[in-house]
Structure 1
Amino acid sequence: MNVLHVLIYFSGIAFLFFGITCLFTPRMRMEFIRFGLSKLQRQITGVVQIIAAIGLLLFEFNTLLAVISAAGLSLLMLLGFIVRMRIKDSVYESSPAFVFMILNAIIAFKLWLLL
């Protein structure tokens, strides 16, 4: 297993977790209220995270699907980072969104080169 595979599995598993918590935990319900986002936006975010995570984890079977999934997660995290900046969260609170944005952009680019 190479480094790219490790990064893909890390991101895929993380976003499965993030998506599930986004849909089902009271903490994330409160966070989305703090972000100024609606219940529907929270639900869409959670579903997108789960679907993209699955697409990413299927990279060995469908590289193009994994590229689209990683690019979508990168875009989602860019939007998350913007929301956190808009509500004036600290750099520490905002950094996971930024790190996952960069990580998924790298994954998308590396997988794109394999097509």
Structure 2
Amino acid sequence: MNLLSVLVWFSSISFLYFGFSCFFSKFIISEFQRYGLPKYRKLTGTLQLIGAVGLLLGLYKSNVLLLIASAGLFLLMLAGFIVRIKIKDNFFKSSPAFIFAVINALIAVKTYFLISGVSYN
């Protein structure tokens, strides 16, 4: 299993968990209220679930889908990181969003190079 596959599987499993948590976890429900964004909780969960499935399908079926899913999750997590900074959470509390943004950015960049045929080594 190569690095891209490991990153995709890790991110996908994580976002399946996070996505379902947006619908069922009392903690996540209270966190979205703390962020001042309770009406975006279900949308966020849905986007996370779509992104997770898109990563897996993309890994095995379509590099373009993998690029779109990883770029979408990167943007979602970048927005999450910005929200955390705006509400004055410290970097430690904000770090999961930052780390998942970086992971999905790496997936997107690696996939872009695969699609374009340019070597990144």
SS at match of 2:112: helix
Residues 34-113 of structure 1 mapped to structure 2, 5 A cutoff: 34-39=34-39, 41-58=40-57, 59-113=59-113
Measured against aligned partners, the alpha-carbon deviations of 1:5-47 in whole angstroms (never above 9, x if no partner) come to 10110001100100000111111110000000023x1000000
> Any unmatched runs of 5+ in structure 2?
116-121
Greater relative contact order structure (CA < 8 Å, 6+ sep) = 1
Runs of 4 or more off by more than 4 Å in structure 1?
A: none
Could you tell me whether the CA contact under 8 Å between 2:29 and 2:38 is conserved in 1?
A: no
TM-score (norm 1): 0.96
What letter corresponds to residue 79 of structure 2 in structure 1? L
Percent identity, please.
52
1:74 counterpart letter in structure 2: F
Partners of 1:3 and 1:108 lie apart in 2 by: 13
Contact 2:52 2:69 in 1 (8 A): yes
For residues 54-89 of structure 1, give each alpha carbon's deviation from its aligned partner in whole angstroms, at most 9, with x where no partner exists. Answer: 000111111111110000000000000000001000
Which residue in 2 is equivalent to 1:11? Answer: 11
Alpha carbon RMSD of aligned pairs, Å? 0.7
Structure 1 unpaired stretches of 5+: none
Q: Aligned partners of 2:38, 2:4: CA distance in 1, in Å?
A: 35
Query: Does the residue aligned with 2:88 lie in a helix, a strand or coil?
Result: coil
